[in-house]
Homo-oligomer: A and B are copies of this chain.
Amino acid sequence: MPTLIHYPLCPFSRAIRLAAAECELKLSLEEKKPWAWAADFLEINPAGTLPLYRDEDGGMLCGSYPISEYLAETGVDETGDARAFSFFPGDEAERGEVRRLVDWFHRKFDSEVTAYLIGEKVIRRFDSAMGGAPNMEMVRAGQANLRYHLGYIGHLTEERTWLGGEHLSFADLAAAAHLSCIDYLGDVPWGEAEEAKQWYARIKSRPSFRSLLADRVPGLKPPDSYADPDF
C-alpha cells in the first residue's frame, strides 16, 4: 500500500487524501509535523512541504502538484478501465478550468486565508520557535479574505453543479480541503454564505470526507459543527 506523509490540518495533504478516497486508492497515513523540519525530511523534500507520497517500491513524490498529476495520469486507464473519479474531467477547456481553480485554492486561497489562519492558530501555537499567541491582525486579515473567497465559491455554484463544471473534480476537493481546515478552527461564517454552504454540505457528506471529519489534533478541539453533516 502506498503511504502518504501528511499533517491532519495541512490542506494540500487533505486534498490528496480526498482524491485518493474518491479513487478508492488505499493509502497508509504517516503523520509529520510541518514545523518540525528534521534533516532526513529535508533531504527528501528540500522545500519542506507536505504531503509526500511513497509508493510500494519506495519511490517518492514531493508535494501536491506532482502527486495530483501522477494520480490523475495513472487513474484513467486507456483501455477503458477508468476510475470513477477523474481529477480533471472533460475536454481541454474544462480541464483547464479545473486546473485554474486548483491553482486558485492551492495558491491564492492558501496565501490569502489558510496561511494566515492555520499559520497563526495552529503552527504558531505548536511551533515553539514561533511563540504561542496568534497575531490577531493576521487572523482578522485571513477572516476578511475568507468572505471574499466564500462569495467566489457561491458565484461559481450559481451556474455550475460543481466548482469546475458539471463533474466533481480536483478543484472541489482542493477547495474543500482548505475550507475544512478553517472549519476545524470554527472560522467559517457559514451563516453569511448560503451557496458556498450548500456546495460544502454536498462534499462533506461524501464517504471520501469521513476520514477528515474524524481527524483530531491534540490540544485543539474543533467545534461540534465540524463533523456534523447538518452544520
Once bound together, how far apart are the Cα atoms of A74 and B97, in whole Å?
16
Q: How many copies does the complex hold?
A: 2
- In the complex, per-residue mask of A101-114: 1 if CB is within 8 Å of any chain B CB, else 0: 01110011000000
Residue among A63, A74, A100 facing the most chain B CB atoms (10 A cut-off) = A100
For the complex, is A39 an interface residue (Cβ under 8 Å from B)? no
For the complex, is A188 an interface residue (Cβ under 8 Å from B)? no
Q: Please tell me if the beta carbons of A99 and B69 are within 8 angstroms of each other in the complex.
A: yes
Q: Please tell me if the beta carbons of A100 and B69 are within 8 angstroms of each other in the complex.
A: no
Q: How far is the CB of A154 from chain B (nearest CB, A)?
A: 13
For the complex, is A65 an interface residue (Cβ under 8 Å from B)? yes
Given A59-B92, A59-B93, A46–B102 Cβ distance below 8 Å? no
Given A46-B152, A152-B46, A61–B104 Cβ distance below 8 Å? no
Q: Please tell me if the beta carbons of B108 and A66 are within 8 angstroms of each other in the complex.
A: no
Nearest B residue to A108, CB-CB: B47
For the complex, is A62 an interface residue (Cβ under 8 Å from B)? yes
For the complex, is A189 an interface residue (Cβ under 8 Å from B)? no
Q: How far is the CB of A165 from chain B (nearest CB, A)?
A: 14
- In the complex, per-residue mask of A51-90: 1 if CB is within 8 Å of any chain B CB, else 0: 0000000010111011101100110000000000000000
Once bound together, how far apart are the Cα atoms of A104 and B104, in whole Å?
17
